[in-house]
């Protein structure tokens, strides 16, 4: 196993890769040559062999690895980061899988026909029907498989509406699930290597994604108080039992990792993929750096790339995405720099959806961007463009809001940044990020230019550089909508989805309240994202395809390293993790079956 074999530069094909990819490839080859020169001899690859090599330990990679191992394949996971879990560990871990056993047991009236018509309407013709069907047909089996082969259990996110509940087959009461609470002690020392969550849960509380809606309302709604108390009670009970309670993405990643530990699958941290090894058109392994040494890991049966998106690659974002864009507004895992996508491209993979991302309006706070959910939709806030004019239904799905920001962004009508405007009444009622109602916002938000505050709407307009009369007119018009309960401009509150993060006590429309109580606040809004959604083109079996539609033998991709089955859209909470896990599962099963 530790045999050294003489090195050759990793074999790659060159059909179609961009200049950027070729340059990156040359840099890798250059690295080999430099090492060679320094050593005065050809570098030696430690020669290791597995049935399946999985690249990345996120949602796609760990699900694929668990499946491969349980199908009897000798499997290894290589992970670039010093931690496991990727963005999945950072996430809320909502999982959108229609017709899974958890929601059916909870009485959700889902059917395969409803799911198929809904997904088809959401996705349109951007993604072949066969892939949509493969996702819907295998998602439920994947969830059952994970529950049987790991400590993970799931719960229905009751009431978290599909994002387009009015489409045929849409579910106003939701069909998303999230992981149940897990005791981190099951991982032993490995727990220390779990990638931390994006925003840590306050000590002593155990919070589910589905609680968040109510926590934002805890100052104004008895159910909010009840849920806060439940979070505390769960935390206290876990502490008394000596547990290290995990929820959301922490639970998901820890649970999958525990499954891998039990199945004996090694996860090699600090082991980045450098390139794929291609022999005679077939992918036969990966070249990685391990302990500072370039290592070839041969894959007898296949390589599954689950190395996430390219949200942290400035070069790829500049090449494929609309301006303005950078790497500062994403909340995705920092190691997700598109390495697997570039390696696939060098091996001949076609790429899809590279212009798109799992977008969402974000506030560029000084420590890290803040991905806004409830803050953008609760009553008493509006989103305006650089002309001080509303431009979107603030309660619309987050990807849609950012698509509008890019679509409408011109010099005459700037939409990036946009501005979230709220009043003190809103601040008195709702949690904002982790700042409780009534409490002052951190000074650093103001000094960094992410937030502004003024005694009047006009003064606020002046501070953020939008026309004061226009902003005043916008607020006045919106306040009229709040009184009648009808947003005749953008129909905020018409959809059940809009009303998920709303305030039931505000009437006649729980999404609309007037902005009237000074001071007024403005928050800078930029196109943030949870990660990118473009990557290698794959078929219904997660096999990677060339531009001509032929399969690259031995190469599979899942998750954000592949073009999303959701196309340019987003079906409901969990539309990235649900498919990532499902296509990881499919890829491993395909290898085992073939």
Binding interface with ligand FAD (CB under 6 A) = 55-61, 78-81, 86-88, 90-94, 198, 272-273, 306-308, 331-333, 335-336, 339-340, 358, 530-531, 559-561, 573-577, 580
Do 130 and 539 meet the contact criterion of CB atoms below 8 Å apart? Answer: yes
Dig out the tokens for 235 from the structure: 């935390």
Do 178 and 208 meet the contact criterion of CB atoms below 8 Å apart? Answer: yes
Provide the 8-state DSSP code for 367: S
Do 382 and 390 meet the contact criterion of CB atoms below 8 Å apart? Answer: yes
By beta-carbon proximity to ligand FAD, the closer residue of 87 and 582 is: 87
Do 508 and 535 meet the contact criterion of CB atoms below 8 Å apart? Answer: no
Q: How far is the CB of 461 from ligand FAD (least distance, A)?
A: 32
Q: How far is the CB of 210 from ligand FAD (least distance, A)?
A: 11
Q: Under 8 Å CB-to-CB from 423, ≥6 apart: which residues? A: 380, 515, 516, 517, 518, 519, 520, 521
Q: How far is the CB of 578 from ligand FAD (least distance, A)?
A: 6
Do 275 and 10 meet the contact criterion of CB atoms below 8 Å apart? Answer: yes
Dig out the tokens for 153 from the structure: 């259990």
Separation CA 75–CA 87 (nearest Å): 22
Residue nearest to ligand FAD (CB): 58
Burial class (CB in 10 A: 0-12, 13-18, 19+), 469: exposed
By beta-carbon proximity to ligand FAD, the closer residue of 515 and 564 is: 564
Q: Which residue carries 């925003």 as its tokens?
A: 199
By beta-carbon proximity to ligand FAD, the closer residue of 399 and 509 is: 399
Rg (CA), the chain: 24
Q: How far is the CB of 357 from ligand FAD (least distance, A)?
A: 10
Provide the 8-state DSSP code for 428: H
Burial class (CB in 10 A: 0-12, 13-18, 19+), 473: middle
Q: How far is the CB of 567 from ligand FAD (least distance, A)?
A: 15
Provide the 8-state DSSP code for 126: G
Q: How far is the CB of 15 from ligand FAD (least distance, A)?
A: 22
Dig out the tokens for 147 from the structure: 């529950």
Q: How far is the CB of 243 from ligand FAD (least distance, A)?
A: 23
Q: How far is the CB of 491 from ligand FAD (least distance, A)?
A: 26
Distance of CA 205 to the CA centre of its chain: 24
By beta-carbon proximity to ligand FAD, the closer residue of 55 and 389 is: 55
Q: How far is the CB of 586 from ligand FAD (least distance, A)?
A: 14
CA nearest 373: which of 199, 588, 155? 199
By beta-carbon proximity to ligand FAD, the closer residue of 92 and 259 is: 92
By beta-carbon proximity to ligand FAD, the closer residue of 51 and 178 is: 178
Separation CA 461–CA 517 (nearest Å): 16
What is the helix (H) or strand (E) element at residue 233, kind and residue range?
A: helix 222-240
Q: How far is the CB of 335 from ligand FAD (least distance, A)?
A: 3
Do 163 and 221 meet the contact criterion of CB atoms below 8 Å apart? Answer: no
Q: How far is the CB of 72 from ligand FAD (least distance, A)?
A: 23
By beta-carbon proximity to ligand FAD, the closer residue of 160 and 426 is: 160
Q: How far is the CB of 147 from ligand FAD (least distance, A)?
A: 18
Dig out the tokens for 18 from the structure: 């961009």
By beta-carbon proximity to ligand FAD, the closer residue of 60 and 416 is: 60
Q: How far is the CB of 529 from ligand FAD (least distance, A)?
A: 9
Separation CA 435–CA 199 (nearest Å): 13
Q: How far is the CB of 79 from ligand FAD (least distance, A)?
A: 5
Q: Under 8 Å CB-to-CB from 570, ≥6 apart: which residues? A: 122, 163, 358, 397, 398, 399, 400
Q: How far is the CB of 478 from ligand FAD (least distance, A)?
A: 29
Q: What is the dihedral of CA 506, 512, 516, 522, to 10 degrees?
A: 120
Hey, is 387 helix, strand or coil?
A: coil
By beta-carbon proximity to ligand FAD, the closer residue of 248 and 396 is: 248
Separation CA 233–CA 355 (nearest Å): 45
Do 155 and 208 meet the contact criterion of CB atoms below 8 Å apart? Answer: yes
CA distances for 39 relative to 32, 42, 288, 411, 468, angstroms: 10, 8, 19, 55, 67
By beta-carbon proximity to ligand FAD, the closer residue of 249 and 348 is: 249
Angle separating helix axes 339-346 and 19-39, nearest 10 degrees: 90
Separation CA 270–CA 266 (nearest Å): 13
């Amino acid at each position: 196993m530790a045999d050294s074999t003489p090195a050759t530069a990793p074999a790659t094909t060159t059909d179609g890769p961009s200049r950027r990819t070729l340059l990156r490839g040359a840099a890798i080859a250059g690295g080999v040559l430099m090492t060679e020169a320094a050593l005065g001899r050809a570098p030696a690859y430690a020669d290791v062999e597995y049935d399946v090599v999985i690249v990345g330990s996120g949602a796609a990679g760990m699900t694929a690895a668990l499946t491969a191992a349980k199908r009897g394949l000798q499997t290894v996971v290589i992970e670039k980061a010093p931690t496991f879990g990727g963005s999945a560990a950072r996430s809320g871990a909502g999982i959108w899988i229609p017709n899974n056993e958890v929601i059916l047991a909870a009485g959700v009236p889902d059917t395969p026909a409803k799911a198929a018509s809904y997904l088809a309407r959401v996705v349109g013709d951007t993604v072949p029907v066969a892939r949509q069907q493969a996702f819907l047909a295998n998602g439920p089996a994947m969830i059952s498989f994970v529950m049987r082969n790991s400590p993970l259990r799931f719960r229905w996110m009751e009431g978290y509406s599909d994002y387009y509940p009015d489409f045929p087959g849409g579910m106003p009461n939701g069909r998303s699930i999230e992981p149940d609470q897990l005791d981190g002690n099951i991982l032993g020392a490995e727990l220390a290597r779990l990638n931390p969550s994006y925003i840590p849960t306050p000590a002593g509380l155990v919070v589910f994604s589905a609680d968040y809606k109510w926590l934002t309302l805890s100052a104004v709604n008895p159910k909010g108080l009840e849920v806060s108390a439940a979070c505390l009670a769960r935390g206290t009970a876990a502490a008394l039992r000596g547990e290290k309670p995990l929820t959301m993405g922490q639970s998901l990643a820890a649970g999958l990792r525990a499954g891998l530990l039990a199945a004996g699958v090694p996860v090699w941290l600090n082991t980045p993929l450098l390139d794929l090894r291609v022999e005679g058109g077939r992918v036969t392994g990966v070249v990685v750096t391990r302990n500072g040494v370039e290592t070839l890991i041969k894959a007898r049966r296949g390589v599954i790339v689950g190395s996430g998106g390219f949200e942290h690659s400035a070069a790829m974002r500049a090449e494929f995405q609309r301006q303005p864009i950078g790497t500062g507004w994403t909340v995705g895992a920092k190691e997700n720099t598109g390495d697997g996508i570039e390696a696939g491209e060098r091996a001949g993979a076609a790429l899809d959806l590279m212009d798109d991302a799992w977008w969402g309006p974000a506030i560029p706070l000084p420590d890290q961007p803040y991905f806004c959910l409830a803050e953008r939709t609760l009553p008493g806030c509006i989103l305006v463009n650089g002309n001080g004019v509303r431009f979107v239904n603030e309660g619309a799905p987050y990807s849609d809001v950012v698509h509008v920001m890019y679509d409408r962004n011109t010099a005459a009508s700037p939409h990036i940044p946009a501005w979230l405007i709220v009043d003190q009444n809103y601040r008195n009622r709702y949690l904002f990020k982790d700042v409780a109602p009534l409490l002052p916002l951190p000074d650093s938000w103001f000094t960094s230019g992410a937030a502004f505050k003024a005694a009047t709407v006009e003064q606020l307009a002046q501070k953020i550089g939008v026309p004061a009369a226009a902003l005043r007119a916008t607020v006045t018009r919106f306040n009229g909508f709040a009184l009648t309960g009808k947003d005749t401009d953008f129909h905020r509150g018409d959809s059940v989805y809009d009303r998920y993060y709303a305030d039931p006590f505000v009437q006649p429309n729980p999404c609309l309240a007037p902005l009237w109580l000074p001071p007024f606040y403005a928050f800078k809004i930029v196109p943030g994202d949870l990660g990118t959604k473009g990557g290698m083109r794959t078929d219904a079996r997660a096999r990677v395809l060339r531009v001509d539609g032929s399969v690259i033998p031995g190469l599979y991709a899942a998750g954000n390293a592949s073009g999303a089955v959701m196309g340019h859209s987003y079906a409901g909470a969990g539309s990235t993790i649900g498919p990532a896990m499902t296509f990881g599962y499919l890829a491993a099963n395909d290898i085992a079956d073939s």
